[in-house]
Amino acid sequence: MKKIKHVLPILCVITLLSGCGVIKTSSSEQSTPTVSAVITSQQETTKQQETTTIKEETTPETTESIEEPEPQASNSVVFDDLEITIDPNITVTSVSNQFSDLDGSTVLAVPMTIKNVGNETNSLNMFYAKSFGSKGTELENVYFYFDDGSTIFKDIRSGASMTSNYYLLYDGDGTYYITFKNFSEEKEIAIDVKLD
């Protein structure tokens, strides 16, 4: 009985995927596909998949070299067709939100310039940027506590640039990292911080 429970849904899915339709017949004949038609259709689908796979494997590979623009400064990276540059003139501020556990916490406002070096409108995806503090642990995002915090994630047309602050929660003097990572590349910028 368990096998029948598993076989019936599989046969239904195969029927739907294989494109078996209702065959027009005279009124005396039934118009539903038979089990043998489904099996035949499944075998034909398997043969088509094998043929497709063979064709994909025998297609000659083309080698293209994609040249990534070089960053203009040592505190820059090119990520996702965006040249991201950190300005060393970091300012210190604090979170001002009485409803937050972070109220009064020290925050570093890091000026960041983003230039679109690609051919299409682009933006820095907020989910691709992570920050790590001086202790090497990921920092909590605090950009949403500041009026200009989300400006860094706005769209930029090809060739244009913008500058705004990227906010890092301060956890002591040392080296901080801003990491940019998507599905195909990963870059990071190190920032040495020492508050006087």
What pLDDT digit, counting tens, does each position of 168-186 carry? 999 999 999 999 999 999 9
Mean of per-residue pLDDT scores for the chain: 76
In 3D space, the residue among 122, 109, 119, 107 whose CA is nearest the CA of residue 162 turns out to be 122
Element (H, E) at 82: strand 82-86
pLDDT band at 195 (very low <50, low <70, confident <90, very high): confident
DSSP 8-state class, residue 26: -
Share of residues in the chain with pLDDT > 90 (%): 59
pLDDT band at 75 (very low <50, low <70, confident <90, very high): confident
Strands 186-193 and 161-169: unpaired
What pLDDT digit, counting tens, does each position of 10-60 carry? 655 565 555 544 444 444 444 333 332 232 333 343 344 444 343 444 444
Q: Is 171 helix (H, G, I), strand (E, B) or coil?
A: coil
Q: Which domains does the chain have, with CATH numbers?
A: 2-24+31-58 (no CATH), 76-193 (2.60.40.1240)
Stretch 107-134: mean pLDDT, rounded? 96
pTM, full prediction: 0.62
Quick count: other Cβ atoms within 10 Å of Cβ 40? Answer: 14
Higher pLDDT, 161 or 6: 161
